Amino acid sequence: MNILLFKGYLNQAFKLIFLFILTLLATPTFATAYVKKEKTKKVIYLARHGKSDKKSGFGDFDRPLSERGKNDAVEMGKRLQKHNAQFDLVITSAAFRSKQTAELMSQKAPFTQDIVIHDSTLFRCSPSILINRIRGMNDSFNHIMLIAHNPAIASCAAYFQDKITIKDFPTCGIMAIEFKIEKWAEIPDVKGDVLFYVYPKKQ
């Protein structure tokens, strides 16, 4: 009689444990622990400097923006704000027109000058140099903008995604591309998704 009673208690205990496990597995907190972690999303903003003033009398490296280039840079800052763009780091070519573009964009864009750095290697660099610069980025940064020159910017914009055909990349144009990657070094093995592609003459 005692053995039968013990078996009854044991069966009841097993049922309670089973029900507890089912309840635990059904809770969102527990279930998500077993869901494969989604890769970190990294976004690169490829931007070309604003239109320069070729009649300024300065050499290529020191040439400033034209009045149109200045106005376009401010306008594109507004567009970035409209698209809710995020920035951890902004890297510009050391050319004066690129630095000026970043400065004027920051007046309306959601970034400040304290996250802007100037890189002399981006001045008139080849596409391969620009790609390697991106691949070598610190992985703690997830949202980075590069302001540089054609043909490197246009080539990278075409190479990093396959949704938009790039024949030319206009001055002050910006393409935001999202990659489902954890490390920048995974580029360009993974194609990205275009979040937006804007330029001054595109309304």
Cα distances from 175 to residues 32, 64, 115, 126, 149, in angstroms, run 34, 23, 19, 18, 13
Q: Give this prediction's pTM.
A: 0.80
Sign of the C-alpha dihedral computed for residues 168, 170, 172 and 176 taken in this order: negative
Name the 3-class secondary structure at 123: coil
Residue ranges with strand state E in the chain: 41-48, 89-93, 116-119, 143-148, 174-180, 193-198
Residue 136 corresponds to which tokens in the numbers above?
Answer: 């070598």
Confirm if 66 and 52 have CB atoms less than 8 A apart. Answer: yes
Cα 103 from Cα 139, distance rounded (Å): 25
143: β partners: 43
84 Ramachandran zone, left/alpha/beta (phi>0; psi -120 to 50): left
Reading the chain (203 residues) residue by residue, the pLDDT tens digits are: 555 555 555 566 666 665 455 444 444 444 444 444 556 899 999 999 999 999 888 999 999 999 999 999 999 999 999 999 999 999 999 999 999 999 999 999 999 999 999 999 999 999 999 999 999 999 999 999 999 999 999 999 999 999 999 988 999 999 999 999 999 999 878 899 999 999 998 87
Confirm if 119 and 91 have CB atoms less than 8 A apart. Answer: yes
